[in-house]
Amino acid sequence: MQPPTAQHSAVGGLPALEAVRAARERVGPHIHRTPLLSSRFLGGIHGARVHLKAENLQRAGAFKIRGALNAMLLARSRGEIGPAGVITYSSGNHGQAVALAAGIIGSPATIVAPEDIAAVKRRAIEGYGGRVVICGLTSEDRCVEALRLARETGAKVIAPYDDPDIIAGQGTIGLEILEDLREVDAILVPVGGGGLISGIAIAAKALRPRILIVGVEPDTADDMRRSLEAGRKVTIPPSRTIADGLRAVTPGDLTFLAARQFVDAVWTVGDPAIREAQREILERAKLLVEPSGAVAVAAWREHGQRLRGRSVVLVLSGGNADPSAVGVS
């Protein structure tokens, strides 16, 4: 991939605000501008004003289409996508986004997915026309296989998070939040590989430097928290958390750099709290979210007293859940 142009780059290859704004113009005609919904119930828990950024209502059911489509439109403009199309590695949501984006630009797509991929996510990938290749259980397993297949076929690799074009696309969420809500003191963001929080933080901090950006990880998949505490990237054992989209074992190079510069804190939550938050979002807000998409709400319930009296946005990153898992049959 060619490096981004200087006017669109920040230090270390991270995209700057201009790249995020350009991404919005590029992908805007193809995606939803998702709603920002107030929640008096959640706000009342800690005496705050709480809004939910409902990316579970995004195309392909998650925020991932923003980054995937931005990266693929740019790759096409650079002549980097050939007859073999694109390939990626994903636990599900990024794979769905790549398959959908490939349909938009008229390209074949191959998604290397884990052995335990959620059935609802595999069906969606195949429904969008993507070819699924099953490999291993960890992101590293999938990455190695995707790179091997890319060398073999000439397919263009669309990274799930550690790429400036992906990060810029995810940052469009930050632009929307700050346009839709005049006063925002803090944004709570799920953290897997870190592309989502990197993009949101870059955009939000550029526009409102004093805003707080708080990451949320499962307590058994807290590679970003541990890496920030250590001052270097660390690798943790693979996690079996129910938040399958957040099972990264080490941050990306770019996403760790972004977190060190722009993220104010990382909070962790356990699986029982995530599951309870998932049910509560369905009962109170009438929104179906997957476990990964519920972690910001779980963290608000457990740690939100630190933001008492503030205006807080909780990002619901995805909705690709099996309804039976939250009691809907």
Strands (E), 46-139: 49-54, 86-89, 109-113, 131-134
Opening angle at CA 247, ends 242 and 249, nearest 5: 150
* Helix or strand (DSSP H, E) at 241: none
Q: Helix or strand or coil: residue 258?
A: helix
Indicate the residue type of 184.
V
Spell out a b/e string for 152-177, using b for 16 or more CB atoms within 10 Å of the CB, else e.
Answer: eeebbbbbbbbbbbbbbbbbbbbbbb
What are the distances in angstroms from CA 77 to CA 1, 73, 105, 142, 289? 12, 6, 11, 27, 34
Structure token digits, residue 320: 């690709």
Q: Of 39, 53, 64, 239, which is the active-site residue?
A: 64
Tell me 12's DSSP state: G
Contacts of 289 (CB under 8 A, 6+ apart): 56, 278, 281, 282, 316, 318, 319, 321
For residue 268, give Cα distances in angstroms to 16, 71, 140, 188, 327. 28, 30, 23, 11, 25
Strand 265-269 relative to strand 156-157: parallel, antiparallel, unpaired? unpaired
Check if the beta carbon of residue 209 is closer than 8 Å to that of residue 232. no
Catalytic status, residue 156: no
91 in catalytic set: yes
Per annotation, catalytic residue among 39, 53, 90, 91: 91
Contact indicator for 239, 220 with CB cutoff of 8 Å: yes
The residues assigned a catalytic role are 64, 91
